[in-house]
Amino acid sequence: MILPREKPSELVKAPVVRALAALLMVISILAIFTRISVRLVAVGSLKLDDHLASLSTALAVVQSVIVIYQGVYGLGIHQDGLEAGDISSLLKCQYAASVLFIATLLVAKISATRTISDIASPEYRRAVLTAEALIVFWALTSILASLFQCQLPAPWDYINGRCFNRTALWVYVNVLNIVTELLIVGIPIWMFRKLQISASKKALVMGLFGCRIFVLPAIICHMYYLDRAINSSDATFDMWLPVIMMQVVQCMSIMITCIPYLKPFMDSLESGQMVYFDIGLGKSEDRDSRAKKSKGSGQASRKRGLASITARSAHASASQRQHYEMGDIDKSAARQQQQQQQQQQQQQQQQNEPSSSWESESHTSQVVLIQKSWRVDVENTNGEAKAA
């Protein structure tokens, strides 16, 4: 076993591995502590994404401790200077650390997608679920392949054992890691482009969710250095740099998952989310209000139509009743006037008895004409009433 107090040099990188692994572990712990503290202060309770982020940090702590023990057992030391027992312990630590590394990334990615899903509208949650399904598939297949990368009973011994193409395995792990990171970045950018906020706030929102792309160079570097170390004849020494890059990828994944919970950003996100959902609600409310207005206008127009018809019918009936009443008045007045004229004619006839017969006939005809004329007037009045 290599002593922890050994100084780093060109031939010994174990102290660098131990120091950087411990430093990155502390940074991850501080990041999750900040996130949990901000969440408790701002909201007062934790949600599923917070618990997942805490779980990923716990896995990262265990993985980092194992990496520190890799440095203790000789990682970063040339293979010919190590004992067989140290090499076996080192390979076992690498075997466990690789599996925990993938598991840590899985939980951290799901925590990020849960955060996006909590602030997403229903139309974007299907895309989030699709990304989560791909992440779970990638992690499970990668873990299974890592567990059985070499022949039993020593699947960790890639130096003396028979293994399949480990380069292809880690290319698969890293490529799908990049793809899933791009999905996690792309979904919130696609979602937040509709925010009704200023350009500066929109850039802040997209930038803080899009900062996950900064982990991509570390993944590419891990892929590059791991390919060189796997094909090296001195794997115990050459593996120190890809192990450090693995720790950087892990730490950055946890840190980036915690960045959206910075207090100023939470305030901006809260206002932006409210505006975003107000858009959808506003549209539906506008549609509902327009429907209600059209329905109300239709009912109002029908009411106005019924009112106008009722008013016209009432006016017509009133005018008809008035016309009939006027007709009855005219009839009674005509009868009275006719009776008065008949009485006057009878009196004149009695006074003028010696008159000639033609005068009596003309007088009679005059009475008849008068009577007929009044009757005609009454009939005309009745006809107009009926026509009305």
Amino acid 112 reads A
Largest Cα span, the chain: 175
Q: Which residue has the higher pLDDT, 124 or 29?
A: 29
Measured from the Cβ of residue 294, the count of other Cβ atoms closer than 10 Å reads 10
| SS3 (DSSP) at 150 | strand
Q: How far apart are CA 65 and CA 301, in angstroms?
A: 78
pLDDT digits (tens, 9 = 90+) for 333-385: 556 667 777 777 777 766 655 444 444 444 444 444 444 444 444 444 444 44
Residue 327 pLDDT more than 60?
A: no
**Tokens representing residue 339 in the block:** 């009776």
The reported pLDDT for the residue numbered 231 is 78
CA angle 186, 252, 202 (to 5 degrees): 40
In the chain, where the domains are located: 14-277
* Measured distance between the N- and C-terminal CA atoms of the chain, rounded to whole angstroms: 121
CATH number for the domain whose boundaries are 14-277: 1.20.1070
The residues with which 77 forms a beta bridge, in sequence order, are 12
Residue 331 pLDDT more than 90?
A: no
pLDDT digits (tens, 9 = 90+) for 167-202: 999 999 999 999 999 999 998 888 877 777 777 777
The residues with which 150 forms a beta bridge, in sequence order, are 163
**Tokens representing residue 303 in the block:** 């009411």
